[in-house]
A and B are shown apart, each in its own frame.
Chain A
Amino acid sequence: MGAFFTSRIVSDILIGAAQGVLVGLIALSLVLIWQSTHVLNFAQGAMAMFAAFCGMTMLEHGLNYWVCVLISLVAAMLLGGVTERVLVRPLYGKAEINSIVVMVGFLGILESGASSIWSGMARQLTSPLSQTYFTLGSKTLYLSPFSLFQIGSALTLMLGVAALFRFTKIGLQLRASALAPEVSRLLGVRVNRMLTLGWIISSAVGAFAAIIIATSGSGLFPSNMDGFFVFGFIAAAIGGLESPGGAILAGLLIGIIQTFVADYLSPSWVAFTPVLILVLSQLVRPAGIFTKNTTRRL
C-alpha cells in the first residue's frame, strides 16, 4: 500500500493537486465576479496580491501568521467592495471593452503601487505549518502538513461558496441579481448591494489563494500573481465561466497535467500546457466543460 502512495504517478497527482487547487481558487474568484456582474476582472490577481501585502507585511512587525491572514482578507474585502462601487459600477450596461480597459489599467496601478509601497523584492513568508513531506518508511509521500492545509482549505472554501449560493437567502439573492437584475429589483432585492457583495466574496477568495501561493514557495512580490491569474483565467474558461465547481475542477486538472508534463516530458512545456488544454476544450465544448448550456449567450 505504501508503495502505491509513494509511486511516481501518485506523487505527481499529489504535487499537481496542491498547485491545481490554487489555480482553481483564482478561477473560482473570477467566476464569482463574472457570475455576479459579467465583468472579466483582469485585475483579480493584482487585487489579491495587494491585499496579501496589506496583511502579510505585518509578519515583519511580529504579528501572528493567522492574524496577518485575517488582516489580508479584510483588506481584500474592502478593496473588492470599493473597486465595485467606484470603478466598476459606472461601467454596467456599457460595452465589455470598457471594463476590460479599466481593469487592465487598475492592474498596472496596483502592481506599480505595491512596488512603490513595499518594493519589488520578493518577501518570503514563513509558513506556520511544516512544508516537509511526510515519509512512508524510506519513501517520500509528496504531502506536507502545509500542502494538506492547502488542498483542504481550497476544497472547504469551494464547498462553502457553493453552500452559500445554494442554501442561503443571500445566495439566492446573489444568484437572482446576477441572472435577472431588473426582475430582482422589482421584487425588492437590493441588487446593488448584492453586486458589491459578489466582489467582496470573490476578492477574499483571491487573496486567500495569493497568501497560500506566496507562502508555498514563490514569496510575495508585486507580479507574483500574474502567472497564476493566466492559469486561473484558463481554468475559468475551461470550466465555462459560470460554474464554480467547474472552475475548481479545471484548476485541479491543469495543476495535475502540468506536473505530469514536467515529470514525463519537459519542464519547459509546463507554461504552454494550460493553453493547449484550453484550445482542445474549446474545440470539443466551446461553452465550457461544466456548463449546462451548449452555447454561450453573446
Chain B
Amino acid sequence: MQISNLTVRYGAIEAIRGVTFTAMPSRITAVLGANGAGKTTLLRTISGLVQPASGSIVIEGVELIGRATDDIARLGVGHVPEGRGVIAEFTVEENLRLGAMAFDIDLAAGLDEQYQQFPVLGERRKQYASTLSGGERQMLAMARALIAQPRLLLLDEPSLGLAPLVAAELMTTIRELCATKNLSVLLVEQNAKGALRIADDAVVLSVGRVVANGSAAEVASDDQLRQYYLGLVQ
C-alpha cells in the first residue's frame, strides 16, 4: 500500500499533513505517535470513512480515494476500529456471520477456522457480545475481520483497555496471523513498546506529520524518537 501526500482536514484543522509512506505486503507496519497525532484519522481515511483534502492511497494498483467504505472493505481491507466495534446486541456467531456476509466464502469453514484460532469464541458462540470481556471482544473483532480473508488488516489500538498480559498475548497472536495468513497489517498503537516488539516496520506521526519511517528495529533504537515521540524512557 502506497500513501502519497495525504492531507486530511476537519474544518480549519489539518489532522494529517502530507503523509507519505509505503506499507510492504505480508509485514506488520506499526503507526505510532501520541494522542492527536492523526493515527486513527489515517486508518479512517484508508477505509473511506473520512475523505481527504488531497493525496492518494493505492493498494495493488487500485486507488482507494473516492471509493465508498463498503467497496473498500470488499477490496480486501479489514478494519478493526478503535473500541472494537463488536455489535453488543448480536451473539458472537452473528457478529462473525456478519463479517463473512459480503464475501464469497464458505461460512461453515470460516467459522471453524476462527473458532480454532480463538477457542474462547467457539465456547461462547451463542452468547451475546455484550457479555464478553474486553479481551474476548477484541478477539471477536479480529476474528470478524479475519473471516473475510482480508489482504490488509487495519488495527486501531487493539491493546487499549486490556490487562498487560492479555495485550501481550494479543500482540503475539497478531504476529502469528501475519506470518501464517500472509497478511499485511497496519497496526496503530499508543503502546509503542508492544507494537515495536512485533512490527517489521514503523511510521511515527506527530501532529499529523511523519517524523520517522523505517524498520521497527531502527525506530526502537533511536533514542530521540523513543524519548520525544514514543514516551519510552530509557
* A191→B99 CA distance, assembly (Å): 13
Query: Is the pair B85, A188 in contact by a Cβ cutoff of 8 Å?
Result: no
From residue 143 to 200 of chain B, which have CB atoms closer than 8 A to chain A? 144-145, 148
Contact A172 B49, beta carbon cutoff 8 Å = no
- From residue A71, how far is it (CB to closest CB) to chain B in Å? 33
Verify A188–B49 contact, CB threshold 8 A.
Answer: no
Number of A residues, CB within 8 Å of B? 17
Asked if residues B73 and A188 are in contact (CB atoms below 8 Å), the reply is: yes
Interface bits A174-190 vs B (CB < 8 Å: 1, else 0): 01100110111111111
Q: Which of B72-106 contact A (CB under 8 A)?
A: 73-74, 79, 81, 85, 87, 89-90, 94, 97-99, 101-103
Max chain A Cβ within 10 angstroms of own Cβ: one of B68, B81, B87, B98? B98
Provide the residues of chain A in CB contact with B74, threshold 8 Å.
188
Chain B residues in 8 Å Cβ range of A183: 81, 85, 87
The 0/1 profile, CB within 8 Å of B marked 1, for residues 204-228 of chain A is 0000000000000000000000000
* A173 at interface, CB cutoff 8 A: yes
- Within residues 39 to 84 of chain B, which ones have a CB less than 8 A from any CB in chain A? 47, 49, 68-70, 73-74, 79, 81
Contact partner, A169, options B49, B73, B87, B101, Cβ 8 Å:
B101
A89 CB to closest chain B CB (Å) equals 14
Contact of A184 among B68, B97, B98 (CB under 8 A): B98
Do A186 and B79 touch (CB < 8 A)?
A: yes
Q: Determine the residue in chain A with the shortest Cβ distance to B71.
A: A188
Verify A186–B89 contact, CB threshold 8 A.
no
User: B47 touching A186 by the CB < 8 A rule?
Assistant: yes
Interchain CB contact under 8 A, B85 and A186: yes
- Chain A residues, Cβ within 8 Å of B85: 180, 182-183, 186
Check if A189 sits within 8 Å of B49, measured CB to CB.
no
Cβ-closest 9 pairs across A and B: A188-B102, A188-B73, A185-B69, A183-B85, A186-B79, A188-B74, A185-B70, A180-B87, A188-B70
A residues with CB within 8 A of B: 169, 172-173, 175-176, 179-180, 182-191
25 cross-chain CB contacts under 8 A: A169-B97, A169-B101, A172-B94, A172-B97, A173-B101, A175-B89, A176-B87, A176-B98, A182-B85, A183-B81, A185-B49, A185-B68, A185-B73, A186-B49, A186-B79, A187-B102, A187-B144, A187-B148, A188-B73, A188-B74, A188-B102, A188-B103, A189-B70, A190-B70, A190-B102
